[in-house]
Amino acid sequence: MTISATGESWPPARSQWLRYWSAVPAEQTEALAADIAGLCEVRDVTLPQNGLGLLKLPDSALNDLYFLGEVPVSHAHVEVTAPDGTRSEGGARLLDDRQSLARALAVLDATLAERLPKHEQALDLLNTGRAAILETRAERNAILATTRVDFSLLGDGSEDDDE
């Protein structure tokens, strides 16, 4: 594990992998997952699923739960077995209705977790996603900086009282 210039450890914790891979175009992650499936045996532990989830939030006054709305959700859980017999399980749960994407991300998760064949490419995709997230963050910070107002230039109003 190394520390990057931004102070983050690399590779990141497994809990961050889906966040980074989700910032990469889906075609790239699905293509890499297909390459991995060509080298390794991929078995669905549970069938990939998609559907709608209800988003519940408590109201601030009485702390009663209310339903804000529905969100698309997809889920996949796979087991990947390398040619040498090494097995790894991976999973993905996304706020997205594409179960093929959830399955592809689950394959990448399993591959990188046990450093199976093509894990270097999965790590490269993580870095690509991280760069995309950092670029988006920098753009948002630049926009935010342009909206700041410096009230110190307004003075305290005492010069208006003298007239």
Residue 80's pLDDT is what? 97
Residue 117's pLDDT is what? 95
Q: pTM to 2 decimals?
A: 0.79
Which tokens go with 142?
Answer: 């630049």
What gap in Å lies between CA 103 and CA 110, rounded to an integer?
11
The one-letter amino acid code at 122 reads A
Q: Domain ranges in the chain?
A: 40-119
Helical (H) or strand (E) element with 74:
strand 65-81
Q: Is the pLDDT of residue 34 over 90?
A: yes
Residue 91's pLDDT is what? 97
At a CB cut-off of 8 Å and minimum separation 6, what does 22 contact? 94, 96, 105, 129
Residue 66's pLDDT is what? 85
Residue 7's pLDDT is what? 58
More confident residue, 103 or 62: 103
CA distances from 107 to 4, 26, 72, 121, 142 (A): 26, 13, 21, 12, 36
Q: Is the pLDDT of residue 61 over 70?
A: yes
At a CB cut-off of 8 Å and minimum separation 6, what does 151 contact? none
Mean pLDDT of the chain: 89
Size of the chain in residues: 163
